[in-house]
Amino acid sequence: MKKIGLVVFPGFQVLDLVAATAFELANAAAQRPVYDVHLLSEGGGLVTSSSGVRVETERFADPAFDTVMTMGAMDVAPSTPGLLAFLNKARAASRRTASICTGAFVLAEAGLLDGRRATTHWAFARNMQQQFPKIKVQEDKIYIVDDDVWTSAGMTAGIDLCLALIEADLGVEISRTIAKKLVVYHRRTGGQSQFSALLELEPKSDRIQTALAYARENLQKDLSVESLAEVARLSPRQFSRAFRSETGQSPAKAIENLRVEAARIMIDEGEHPIDIVARETGFSDPERMRRAFLRAFGQPPQAIKRAARLRQVA
């Protein structure tokens, strides 16, 4: 059985404990006890979160775990020497070390991120880079894996991190099953931006939201105004007018942004030729995708692909 240590401290963010649920669901999906989850703290006993919710914990002892994961906090504060000492011991004795959200600051204080790529909540990323210049902070990533050290962005990105950990252990089907039970899309890739084209649109009505959700899940299909209007159960004219009113964009521009976002993720993963990326994300040909990338990023897909390769080597 894989022993999981979730590390908390006074003022931790209780949402990060969704990690415990992800591992619990993994046991259910695998139909066997794969993970043994322990909630840990320096002093043991009850620990109070930033919201005032108190959780029962075990005192630091044996540092040997399969995975030790540090929770984050709403406000970043210096860690205690005891916490940092335990994490260093656990790093040496365990298979994997991870953090959710600003838990990366705790790993950074312990020196566990020196020379590594890491991420954290976007609002704290630049501060982290300034405080810890030895870390290669990538502020616009959902999660990053650098050897056996995993870090994630803030809040719900911890779910993506846990799903990725579980997928590495048990396979993609188990991970998908858990995502369905958590009622989330199957995990976002690590290279995906913390910001989403859908979040920027923020439609107000259910009909426009439904059309956009359909578009994101069907990028390879015809996503003309007529087809999206049919999904929204509106006439093309009504749909175009409502869409622009609610999002500030034309349907064509919004679909292009969704396709560019999906293409950028595939390119950042570094595993797909440009023509395959264009086809999989609904661009009719690589040239059309190139023009869309120039409008969105000011550089072609090939330049972004080269940069992604350099990051992987660094």
Q: Is 289 helix (H, G, I), strand (E, B) or coil?
A: helix
CA separation for the pair 95, 45 (Å, rounded) = 26
Whole-number pLDDT of residue 158: 93
Strands 35-41 and 143-146: unpaired
In a domain, 242, yes or no: yes
Each residue of 128-171: pLDDT tens digit? 999 999 999 987 788 999 999 999 998 889 999 999 999 999 99
CATH of the domain at 234: 1.10.10.60
Percent of the chain with pLDDT over 90: 70
What does DSSP say about strands 96-99 and 67-70: parallel, antiparallel, or unpaired? parallel
Mean pLDDT (the chain, rounded): 90
Taking alpha carbons only, the member of 16, 260, 34, 273 closest to residue 121 is 16
Task: Clarify whether residues 90 and 45 are in a common domain.
Answer: yes
What value does the CA radius of gyration of the chain take, rounded to a whole number of Å? Answer: 21
Q: CA–CA separation, 39 vs 7, rounded Å?
A: 6
Asked whether residue 9 falls in the same domain as residue 121, the answer is yes
Lowest-pLDDT range of 167-176, 182-191, 242-251: 182-191
- Do 228 and 311 have their domain in common? yes
Residues 51 and 149 in one domain: yes
Examine the fold and report which residue of 124, 149, 182 is the final residue of a domain before the chain moves on: 182
Domain boundary among 182, 216, 249: 182
Residue 138: how many other CB atoms lie within 10 Å = 18
Q: Which of 50-64, 203-217, 243-257 has the highest mean pLDDT?
A: 50-64
Same domain as 160, residue 51: yes
The answer to whether residue 307 is domain-embedded is yes
Cα 78 from Cα 104, distance rounded (Å): 12
Statement to judge: residues 107 and 242 lie in one domain: no
- Tell me what pLDDT residue 310 has: 65
- The larger pLDDT score, comparing residue 165 to residue 194, is at 165
Pairing mode, strands 149-152 and 2-7: unpaired
Does one domain contain both 155 and 66? Answer: yes
* Domain range enclosing 214: 196-314
List the alpha helices (DSSP H) in 132-250. Answer: 157-170, 172-182, 197-201, 206-217, 225-232, 236-247
| 255 burial type by CB count under 10 A (0-12 exposed, 13-18 middle, 19+ buried) | buried
- Residue 212 and residue 198 in contact, taking contact as beta carbons nearer than 8 Å: yes
Among the listed residues 6, 204, 155, the one whose alpha carbon sits nearest the alpha carbon of residue 90: 6
Q: Whole-model pTM above 0.75? A: no
- Phi-psi category of 234—alpha, beta or left, where left has phi over 0 and alpha has psi -120 to 50? beta
Mean pLDDT to the nearest integer, 113-142: 92
pLDDT, average across residues 10-23 = 96
65 plus 129 within the same structural domain:
yes
290 assigned to some structural domain = yes
Q: What is the torsion angle, in degrees rounded to the nearest 10, for the CA atoms of residue 246, residue 251, residue 253 and residue 257? A: 80
Task: Say yes or no: 157 and 26 in one domain.
Answer: yes
Mean pLDDT, residues 176-180 taken together: 89
Q: What is the pLDDT of residues 90-101, one digit of tens each?
A: 999 999 999 999
| Structural domain total, the chain | 2
Number of H helices, E strands in the chain: 14, 10
Domain assignment present for residue 167? The answer is yes
SS3 97: strand
**What is the pLDDT at residue 209?**
87
Q: How far apart are CA 245 and CA 84, in angstroms?
A: 52
Please state the rounded mean pLDDT for residues 36-65: 98
Whole-angstrom Cα distance, residue 224 to residue 212?
Answer: 12
Which residues have C-beta within 8 Å of that of residue 243, sequence separation ≥ 6?
A: 203, 208, 211, 228, 249, 250, 251, 254
Q: Which of 136, 159, 182 is the last residue of a domain?
A: 182
Same domain assignment for residues 105 and 253: no
Report if residue 190 sits inside a domain: no
Collapsed DSSP state (helix, strand, coil) of residue 198: helix
Q: Rounded CA gap, 283 and 262, in Å?
A: 11
Are 256 and 137 part of one and the same domain? no
Q: Is the pLDDT assigned to residue 311 strictly greater than 90?
A: no
139/263 same-domain check = no
3-class state of residue 290 by DSSP: helix
Burial of 155: CB neighbours in 10 Å, binned 0-12, 13-18, 19+? middle
Here the contacts of 302-308 (C-beta below 8 Å, separation 24 or greater) are: 302/274, 304/264, 304/267, 304/268, 305/267, 305/270, 305/274, 308/191, 308/267, 308/268, 308/269, 308/270
Instruction: Give domain status of residue 189, yes or no.
Output: no
Q: Residue 124 falls within a domain, yes or no? A: yes
Overall average pLDDT of the 96-108 stretch: 98
What CATH number does the domain containing 132 carry? 3.40.50.880
Q: What type of residue sits at position 195?
A: F
Classify residue 211: in a domain, yes or no: yes
